[in-house]
Amino acid sequence: MTQSLAVLLVTMMTTLPTADLVDDMDHAADAEFVGRQLVVSWSPDGVVAQLSEVEQSGGMTMVKGSDHSVVIGQGKLIDDYGGTTTYVEMTPTTPWRLWDGYEVVDGEQTSGADDSRTVDVLEDGHLRARFVLDEASSVPLSSEIFGGNGSLYRYTALIEVGPRDSAPMIDMTDMPPPEVREMAQDVALPASAGHYWRADSYVAAGGIQAFYTDGLFHFSVFELSRKTDGGPLADKPSVEMAGRGGYRRQYKPAAVTVLWRTADQSYVLIGDLPPDHLELVLIDLPAPDRANALKRAWRWVFG
Protein backbone atom coordinates (compact mmCIF):
# COMPACT_ATOMS: atom_id res chain seq x y z
CA MET A 1 0.00 0.00 0.00
CA THR A 2 2.84 2.36 0.78
CA GLN A 3 4.37 1.57 -2.60
CA SER A 4 1.17 2.38 -4.46
CA LEU A 5 0.89 5.68 -2.59
CA ALA A 6 4.42 6.52 -3.66
CA VAL A 7 3.51 5.90 -7.29
CA LEU A 8 0.49 8.15 -7.00
CA LEU A 9 2.35 10.94 -5.23
CA VAL A 10 4.88 11.32 -8.00
CA THR A 11 2.52 10.53 -10.88
CA MET A 12 0.24 13.31 -9.67
CA MET A 13 3.13 15.73 -9.73
CA THR A 14 4.42 14.82 -13.20
CA THR A 15 1.30 13.93 -15.25
CA LEU A 16 -0.24 16.93 -16.97
CA PRO A 17 -3.68 16.75 -18.62
CA THR A 18 -3.61 19.22 -21.52
CA ALA A 19 -4.70 19.05 -25.12
CA ASP A 20 -1.27 18.66 -26.69
CA LEU A 21 0.83 17.89 -23.66
CA VAL A 22 2.01 14.36 -24.30
CA ASP A 23 5.28 15.87 -25.53
CA ASP A 24 5.26 18.30 -22.61
CA MET A 25 4.85 15.41 -20.16
CA ASP A 26 7.95 13.80 -21.60
CA HIS A 27 9.70 17.17 -21.47
CA ALA A 28 8.76 17.69 -17.81
CA ALA A 29 9.95 14.20 -16.88
CA ASP A 30 13.39 15.02 -18.36
CA ALA A 31 13.81 18.23 -16.36
CA GLU A 32 16.66 18.36 -13.81
CA PHE A 33 15.88 20.29 -10.62
CA VAL A 34 15.67 20.28 -6.83
CA GLY A 35 13.04 21.96 -4.73
CA ARG A 36 10.49 21.65 -1.97
CA GLN A 37 6.92 20.53 -2.54
CA LEU A 38 3.96 21.72 -0.48
CA VAL A 39 0.72 19.71 -0.60
CA VAL A 40 -2.43 20.80 1.25
CA SER A 41 -5.79 18.99 1.09
CA TRP A 42 -9.14 20.13 2.44
CA SER A 43 -10.63 16.67 2.94
CA PRO A 44 -14.05 15.66 4.34
CA ASP A 45 -12.17 14.65 7.50
CA GLY A 46 -10.23 17.90 7.91
CA VAL A 47 -7.23 19.78 6.52
CA VAL A 48 -3.97 17.85 6.03
CA ALA A 49 -0.64 19.14 4.72
CA GLN A 50 2.95 18.08 4.15
CA LEU A 51 6.22 19.63 2.97
CA SER A 52 8.69 17.38 1.12
CA GLU A 53 12.05 17.68 -0.59
CA VAL A 54 11.86 16.92 -4.32
CA GLU A 55 14.64 16.09 -6.74
CA GLN A 56 14.41 15.00 -10.36
CA SER A 57 17.21 13.64 -12.55
CA GLY A 58 17.64 11.18 -15.41
CA GLY A 59 13.91 10.61 -15.76
CA MET A 60 13.62 9.65 -12.07
CA THR A 61 11.94 11.69 -9.33
CA MET A 62 12.64 11.54 -5.58
CA VAL A 63 10.22 12.77 -2.93
CA LYS A 64 11.73 12.81 0.56
CA GLY A 65 10.15 13.50 3.94
CA SER A 66 11.61 13.43 7.43
CA ASP A 67 11.80 9.60 7.60
CA HIS A 68 10.59 8.43 4.20
CA SER A 69 11.97 8.74 0.67
CA VAL A 70 10.52 7.49 -2.61
CA VAL A 71 12.16 7.34 -6.03
CA ILE A 72 9.98 6.61 -9.06
CA GLY A 73 10.46 6.55 -12.82
CA GLN A 74 11.10 4.32 -15.84
CA GLY A 75 8.97 1.55 -14.34
CA LYS A 76 11.01 1.50 -11.12
CA LEU A 77 10.03 2.32 -7.56
CA ILE A 78 12.48 2.55 -4.65
CA ASP A 79 10.78 3.07 -1.30
CA ASP A 80 12.89 3.71 1.81
CA TYR A 81 10.81 3.84 4.97
CA GLY A 82 12.21 3.58 8.48
CA GLY A 83 15.53 2.21 7.19
CA THR A 84 13.88 -0.57 5.16
CA THR A 85 14.34 -0.29 1.40
CA THR A 86 11.97 -1.86 -1.13
CA TYR A 87 12.81 -1.93 -4.83
CA VAL A 88 9.96 -2.75 -7.21
CA GLU A 89 9.84 -2.89 -11.01
CA MET A 90 6.64 -2.79 -13.06
CA THR A 91 5.97 -2.54 -16.78
CA PRO A 92 2.96 -0.35 -17.62
CA THR A 93 1.31 -1.38 -20.90
CA THR A 94 -1.56 1.08 -21.39
CA PRO A 95 -0.76 4.36 -23.19
CA TRP A 96 -1.80 7.64 -21.61
CA ARG A 97 -5.12 9.16 -22.66
CA LEU A 98 -7.55 11.64 -21.14
CA TRP A 99 -11.20 10.85 -20.40
CA ASP A 100 -13.39 12.50 -23.02
CA GLY A 101 -15.55 14.02 -20.27
CA TYR A 102 -12.77 16.53 -19.62
CA GLU A 103 -12.29 19.72 -21.62
CA VAL A 104 -8.82 21.27 -21.63
CA VAL A 105 -8.50 25.03 -22.16
CA ASP A 106 -5.90 27.74 -21.74
CA GLY A 107 -6.38 29.22 -18.29
CA GLU A 108 -6.22 32.82 -17.21
CA GLN A 109 -2.68 33.83 -16.31
CA THR A 110 -2.88 34.60 -12.61
CA SER A 111 0.74 34.22 -11.49
CA GLY A 112 1.94 37.42 -13.14
CA ALA A 113 5.08 35.63 -14.38
CA ASP A 114 6.04 35.66 -18.05
CA ASP A 115 7.87 32.33 -17.74
CA SER A 116 4.78 30.24 -16.92
CA ARG A 117 1.43 29.36 -18.47
CA THR A 118 -1.87 28.18 -17.03
CA VAL A 119 -3.93 25.19 -18.16
CA ASP A 120 -7.47 24.50 -16.94
CA VAL A 121 -9.37 21.20 -17.03
CA LEU A 122 -13.17 21.43 -17.07
CA GLU A 123 -15.71 18.73 -16.24
CA ASP A 124 -19.32 19.45 -17.24
CA GLY A 125 -18.30 23.06 -17.73
CA HIS A 126 -16.95 23.40 -14.18
CA LEU A 127 -13.30 23.82 -13.20
CA ARG A 128 -11.86 20.50 -12.01
CA ALA A 129 -8.11 21.25 -12.16
CA ARG A 130 -5.76 24.16 -12.81
CA PHE A 131 -2.05 23.77 -13.56
CA VAL A 132 0.62 26.47 -13.71
CA LEU A 133 3.47 25.15 -15.87
CA ASP A 134 7.00 26.39 -16.25
CA GLU A 135 7.24 27.67 -19.81
CA ALA A 136 10.72 26.30 -20.48
CA SER A 137 10.52 22.85 -18.85
CA SER A 138 6.74 22.16 -18.62
CA VAL A 139 7.29 21.21 -14.94
CA PRO A 140 4.10 21.94 -12.92
CA LEU A 141 4.91 24.80 -10.56
CA SER A 142 1.50 24.50 -8.91
CA SER A 143 -1.79 22.66 -9.25
CA GLU A 144 -5.26 23.11 -7.83
CA ILE A 145 -7.81 20.28 -7.73
CA PHE A 146 -11.47 21.12 -7.12
CA GLY A 147 -14.31 19.03 -5.72
CA GLY A 148 -17.66 18.49 -7.35
CA ASN A 149 -19.12 21.50 -5.51
CA GLY A 150 -16.40 23.80 -6.85
CA SER A 151 -14.45 24.08 -3.59
CA LEU A 152 -10.69 23.67 -3.52
CA TYR A 153 -9.76 20.12 -2.55
CA ARG A 154 -5.98 19.97 -3.03
CA TYR A 155 -3.24 22.54 -3.64
CA THR A 156 0.27 21.47 -4.67
CA ALA A 157 3.21 23.80 -5.25
CA LEU A 158 6.91 23.52 -5.94
CA ILE A 159 8.78 26.12 -3.90
CA GLU A 160 12.44 27.09 -3.80
CA VAL A 161 13.06 25.36 -7.14
CA GLY A 162 16.64 25.40 -8.43
CA PRO A 163 19.22 23.49 -10.48
CA ARG A 164 20.60 20.27 -9.04
CA ASP A 165 24.29 19.43 -8.71
CA SER A 166 26.00 16.68 -10.66
CA ALA A 167 26.10 14.10 -7.85
CA PRO A 168 23.99 10.95 -8.37
CA MET A 169 20.49 11.38 -7.01
CA ILE A 170 20.54 7.94 -5.36
CA ASP A 171 23.27 5.43 -4.57
CA MET A 172 22.37 2.10 -6.21
CA THR A 173 25.46 0.30 -4.90
CA ASP A 174 23.78 -1.56 -2.02
CA MET A 175 20.28 -1.64 -3.46
CA PRO A 176 18.48 -4.97 -2.92
CA PRO A 177 17.44 -6.98 -5.99
CA PRO A 178 14.17 -5.62 -7.40
CA GLU A 179 10.84 -7.33 -6.86
CA VAL A 180 9.43 -7.66 -10.37
CA ARG A 181 5.65 -7.25 -10.46
CA GLU A 182 4.20 -9.50 -13.15
CA MET A 183 1.02 -8.70 -15.03
CA ALA A 184 -2.04 -10.39 -13.50
CA GLN A 185 -3.97 -12.69 -15.84
CA ASP A 186 -7.16 -13.46 -13.87
CA VAL A 187 -8.64 -10.26 -12.44
CA ALA A 188 -12.13 -10.28 -10.92
CA LEU A 189 -12.22 -6.53 -10.33
CA PRO A 190 -14.38 -4.63 -12.87
CA ALA A 191 -12.91 -3.26 -16.09
CA SER A 192 -14.23 0.19 -15.14
CA ALA A 193 -15.39 2.03 -12.03
CA GLY A 194 -17.26 5.26 -12.50
CA HIS A 195 -15.69 6.74 -15.63
CA TYR A 196 -12.25 5.35 -14.69
CA TRP A 197 -10.86 2.42 -16.64
CA ARG A 198 -8.64 -0.40 -15.40
CA ALA A 199 -5.36 0.28 -17.16
CA ASP A 200 -3.05 -2.45 -15.77
CA SER A 201 -3.20 -5.20 -13.16
CA TYR A 202 -0.27 -6.75 -11.31
CA VAL A 203 0.37 -9.71 -9.05
CA ALA A 204 1.11 -8.02 -5.71
CA ALA A 205 2.14 -9.45 -2.36
CA GLY A 206 -0.88 -11.33 -1.04
CA GLY A 207 -3.19 -10.59 -3.95
CA ILE A 208 -3.87 -8.40 -6.98
CA GLN A 209 -3.23 -4.71 -7.61
CA ALA A 210 -5.47 -3.14 -10.26
CA PHE A 211 -4.55 0.35 -11.47
CA TYR A 212 -7.38 2.66 -12.61
CA THR A 213 -7.13 6.08 -14.23
CA ASP A 214 -9.08 8.70 -16.17
CA GLY A 215 -5.87 10.33 -17.41
CA LEU A 216 -6.09 13.08 -14.80
CA PHE A 217 -6.52 11.13 -11.55
CA HIS A 218 -5.46 7.63 -10.55
CA PHE A 219 -6.12 4.96 -7.97
CA SER A 220 -5.13 1.39 -7.23
CA VAL A 221 -7.36 -1.30 -5.75
CA PHE A 222 -5.66 -4.14 -3.88
CA GLU A 223 -7.68 -7.34 -3.63
CA LEU A 224 -6.32 -9.25 -0.63
CA SER A 225 -7.16 -12.03 1.79
CA ARG A 226 -9.97 -11.23 4.21
CA LYS A 227 -7.47 -11.97 7.00
CA THR A 228 -5.44 -8.89 6.06
CA ASP A 229 -5.17 -6.81 9.23
CA GLY A 230 -5.67 -3.49 7.44
CA GLY A 231 -2.81 -1.77 9.22
CA PRO A 232 -3.61 1.69 10.67
CA LEU A 233 -6.88 1.81 8.73
CA ALA A 234 -8.33 -0.96 10.87
CA ASP A 235 -8.46 1.49 13.80
CA LYS A 236 -10.34 4.14 11.85
CA PRO A 237 -14.08 4.52 12.50
CA SER A 238 -16.48 3.00 9.99
CA VAL A 239 -17.95 5.61 7.63
CA GLU A 240 -20.70 5.59 5.02
CA MET A 241 -19.83 6.28 1.41
CA ALA A 242 -21.71 5.67 -1.83
CA GLY A 243 -24.80 4.99 0.29
CA ARG A 244 -23.16 2.05 2.08
CA GLY A 245 -21.47 1.60 5.44
CA GLY A 246 -18.45 -0.48 6.35
CA TYR A 247 -15.67 1.67 4.89
CA ARG A 248 -12.62 2.89 6.82
CA ARG A 249 -10.69 5.75 5.26
CA GLN A 250 -7.75 8.05 5.82
CA TYR A 251 -7.00 11.25 3.95
CA LYS A 252 -3.40 12.29 3.53
CA PRO A 253 -2.25 15.41 1.67
CA ALA A 254 -1.69 13.67 -1.67
CA ALA A 255 -4.01 10.66 -1.49
CA VAL A 256 -6.94 8.94 0.19
CA THR A 257 -6.87 5.32 1.39
CA VAL A 258 -10.02 3.25 1.94
CA LEU A 259 -10.32 -0.23 3.50
CA TRP A 260 -13.36 -2.50 3.39
CA ARG A 261 -14.15 -6.19 3.53
CA THR A 262 -16.57 -8.46 1.74
CA ALA A 263 -17.55 -11.96 2.84
CA ASP A 264 -14.41 -13.39 1.22
CA GLN A 265 -11.90 -10.59 0.52
CA SER A 266 -10.33 -7.42 1.84
CA TYR A 267 -9.99 -4.41 -0.44
CA VAL A 268 -7.77 -1.37 -0.15
CA LEU A 269 -8.18 1.60 -2.48
CA ILE A 270 -5.51 4.27 -2.60
CA GLY A 271 -5.56 7.20 -4.99
CA ASP A 272 -5.45 10.91 -5.67
CA LEU A 273 -9.02 11.23 -6.93
CA PRO A 274 -11.31 13.91 -5.42
CA PRO A 275 -14.02 12.91 -2.90
CA ASP A 276 -16.98 13.08 -5.30
CA HIS A 277 -15.19 10.79 -7.77
CA LEU A 278 -14.35 8.42 -4.91
CA GLU A 279 -18.04 8.03 -4.09
CA LEU A 280 -18.82 7.20 -7.72
CA VAL A 281 -16.11 4.57 -8.21
CA LEU A 282 -17.01 2.78 -4.96
CA ILE A 283 -20.49 2.11 -6.38
CA ASP A 284 -18.95 -0.09 -9.09
CA LEU A 285 -16.49 -1.92 -6.82
CA PRO A 286 -17.39 -4.87 -4.56
CA ALA A 287 -19.65 -3.76 -1.71
CA PRO A 288 -18.73 -4.17 1.97
CA ASP A 289 -20.25 -7.29 3.51
CA ARG A 290 -19.72 -9.53 6.51
CA ALA A 291 -18.75 -13.17 6.30
CA ASN A 292 -21.67 -15.49 7.05
CA ALA A 293 -21.94 -17.14 10.47
CA LEU A 294 -20.43 -20.45 9.34
CA LYS A 295 -17.39 -18.77 7.82
CA ARG A 296 -16.89 -16.61 10.91
CA ALA A 297 -16.99 -19.71 13.13
CA TRP A 298 -14.56 -21.55 10.85
CA ARG A 299 -12.10 -18.65 10.93
CA TRP A 300 -12.43 -18.33 14.71
CA VAL A 301 -11.49 -21.99 15.13
CA PHE A 302 -8.91 -22.44 12.37
CA GLY A 303 -7.65 -18.88 11.76
- Residue with more model confidence, 290 or 208: 208
Which pLDDT score is estimated for 23?
63
Is residue 18's pLDDT more than 80?
A: no
Res. 241: pLDDT tops 90: yes
pLDDT for res 14: 38
Q: Does domain 181-302 have CATH number 3.30.70?
A: no
Range(s) for CATH 2.50.20.10 in the chain? 2-162
CATH fold label, 2-162: outer membrane lipoprotein receptor (LolB), chain A (2.50.20)
Mean residue pLDDT across the chain: 84
Q: Do you know the residue count of the chain? A: 303
| Contacts of 121 by beta carbon, 8 Å cutoff, 6+ apart | 17, 18, 102, 103, 104, 127, 128, 129, 130, 131, 216
CATH 3.40.1000 segments of the chain: 181-302
Percentage of the chain with pLDDT > 70? Answer: 85
Quote the distance between the C-alpha of residue 205 and its chain's center: 19
Contact criterion met (CB below 8 Å) for 82 and 92: no
pLDDT of residue 13 exceeding 90, the answer is no
